[in-house]
Amino acid sequence: MQVLVTGGAGYIGSHTLVCLLDQGYEVVVYDNLINASAEALSRVEKLTGKTIDFVQGDVRDTDSLDDLFATRSIDMVIHFAALKAVGESAQCPLEYYQNNVHGSLCLLEAMAKAGVNNFVYSSSATVYGEANPSPYVETMNLGSPSSPYGAGKVMVERILLDKARANPNFRAVSLRYFNPIGAHPSGDIGEDPTGIPNNLLPFITQVAVGKRDKLSVFGGEYSTSDGTCVRDYLHVMDLAEGHVAAIDWLATQPSFRGVEAFNLGTGNGISVLEIIASFEAATTLKIAYQIVEPRAGDLPAFWANAEKASNVMNWRAKRSLDEMMEDAWRWQSKNPNGYS
C-alpha cells in the first residue's frame, strides 16, 4: 500500500515515516521544506534501510499535486504539512489560513480528482477550545480556539465533515494530538525548531545543552497542583504509531465511510514543574528556570480521554515520561545544532 505523507520531513512526519516503513508501507513524501531539512529523510532512510520517494513541493501547488497523483498509485494520504507556531499565527493570520486551510483544500481537491478517498488529518487538542472541561472527549463539540492556527484546525475538521456528507466514498480520520515530545530512541531524528523554541521541551533541552541561559516558566499561579500549566505529554514515537494504527484501521474497515476523530494522548496531566523535575531526574542535569507572567492564550490545564483510540484502533501511548526525557536529551546532545 502506498501512503502519501505531506510534511513528512517535519518532526512528527519523520517519526511516522520510520513506523510506516518498518511496517512495510511504501511512502511518498511531499514537503516544501519550509520548516524541515532533507537530512531528516536521509536519516530515516538510514534508520529503516528503505528508500523514500521524496518530491519537494507545496500543497498549494495543484499542478504539482495532480502530477504526483497521476504518476503514483496512492491509496491513502497523511496530511501533516502546515505552519504550526501558534503565536506567529496571530501576527500573520492570512499566511496561516492560506497555508493550513487553503493548502488542505488543494490537497483534498487533488485527491478527489485522482479518486483517492482515504485521509488522515493532523488535528490538535486545540480544537476543543477554551470552554470544554478536561479530560477532553471526542463527543464534545468543537470549540472556538482563540488563535488563527487553532481556528484553522477547526475549519479543516469541519471541511472534512462536509466533504464526507457530500461524497459517500470519502473516509477520514482526524487525529487530535496532545503534546508530542521526545525523539526516536536512536537520537538520529528529533525536533529541530528554527530560532527560539516556542514549545517547552525543545526549550528545556536547549537550556541543558547550553544554547539558552534559562527557561521562563509561563505562569506560577494557575489553579493546578503546583500553580504551573498542566498538559498531556506523549512520546512522539507513540504518536507516530498512532498514525499507523489509523492507516491500519482504515485499511481493515472497508465499509467505513465518513470522518472519525481520535484523541492521541496518554490521559495524564503533567505540570511544567513536573516536566522540569522529570528531565532533571532522567538526565542528572540541572535546568535553570524562572517563573514569569503567563503566556497569552495558554489554558491552565488540559488532557485527553484516550479511551476511544484504544477501544477502536487498539492504540495506546506506551512510553514513560522517563523515556520521553531520555530520548529528547539523546537527540539534542547528539545534534546540538539540529540537522544543520
Q: How many angstroms separate the first and last alpha carbons of the chain?
A: 33
Cell 461524497 belongs to residue:
167
Among positions 59, 201, 204, 208, the unique one binding ligand NAD when judged by CB under 6 A: 59
Q: Which does 80 bind (CB under 5 to 8 A by kind): ligand UD1, ligand NAD, none?
A: ligand NAD
Using CB positions, name the residue nearest to ligand UD1.
229
Can residue 229 be called a binding residue for ligand UD1 (CB under 6 A)?
yes
Residue 82's binding partner, choosing from ligand NAD, ligand UD1, none, with beta-carbon cut-off 5 to 8 A by kind? ligand NAD
| Coil/strand/helix, residue 114 | helix
Q: Report d(CA 306, CA 269) in Å as an integer.
A: 12
Residues 180, 234: Cα–Cα separation, whole Å: 5
Catalogue the E-assigned strands of the chain. Answer: 2-6, 26-31, 53-56, 76-79, 118-124, 171-177, 179-181, 215-218, 230-231, 233-235, 258-264, 270-271, 289-292
Q: Which residues contact 147 (CB under 8 A, 6 or more apart)?
A: 86, 87, 89, 90, 126, 297
Q: How far is the CB of 19 from ligand NAD (least distance, A)?
A: 14
Of 146-165, binders to ligand NAD (CB under 6 A) are: none
Distance, CA of 105 to CA of 332 (rounded, Å): 36
Of the candidate spans 29-37, 155-163, 182-190, 213-221, the one that interacts with ligand UD1 by CB under 6 A turns out to be: 213-221
Q: C-alpha 287: how far from its chain's center? A: 26
Q: Given candidates 76, 217, 236, 282, which one binds ligand UD1 under the rule CB under 6 A? A: 217
Query: Binder to ligand UD1 among 298, 311, 314, 318 (CB under 6 A)?
Result: 298
Q: Which window, 101-109, 129-137, 245-253, 291-299, contacts ligand UD1 (CB under 6 A)?
A: 291-299
The secondary structure of 139-199, three-state, reads CCCCCCCCCHHHHHHHHHHHHHHHHHHHCCCCEEEEEEECEEECCCCCCCCCCCCCCCCCC
Of residues 86 through 125, those in contact with ligand UD1 by CB under 6 A are 86, 124
Report the partner that residue 298 touches, choosing among ligand UD1, ligand NAD, none (CB closer than 5 to 8 A by kind). ligand UD1
Torsion of CA 316, 318, 322, 328, to 10 degrees: -70
CB closer to ligand UD1 out of 1 and 90: 90
**What's the chain's length in residues?**
340
With contacts defined by CB under 6 A, name the span among 9-17, 71-79, 256-264, 294-302 that binds ligand UD1. Answer: 294-302
Q: How far is the CB of 267 from ligand UD1 (least distance, A)?
A: 16
Determine the size of the site formed for ligand UD1 (CB under 6 A).
20
Among 4, 52, 86, 99, binds ligand NAD (CB under 6 A): 99
Q: Is 11 in the site for ligand NAD (CB under 6 A)?
A: yes
Give the residue with the Cβ less far from ligand NAD, 35 or 118. Answer: 35
Catalytically active residues are: 149
Dihedral-angle region of residue 210 (phi above 0 means left; psi in -120 to 50 means alpha; beta otherwise): left
- Residue 35 binds to ligand NAD (criterion: CB under 6 A): yes
Residues that contact ligand NAD, how many (by CB under 6 A): 28
Q: Which residue lies nearer to ligand NAD by CB, 200 or 207?
A: 200
Distances (CA, A) of 144 to 85, 130, 147, 155: 18, 7, 9, 10
63: which 3 cell numbers? 499542478
Q: Which residues bind ligand NAD (CB under 6 A)?
A: 6-7, 9-13, 31-36, 58-60, 80-84, 99, 103, 122, 124, 177, 179-180
Binding residues for ligand UD1, rule: CB under 6 A, are 84, 86, 124, 126, 150, 179, 198-200, 203, 215-218, 229, 231, 272, 295, 297-298
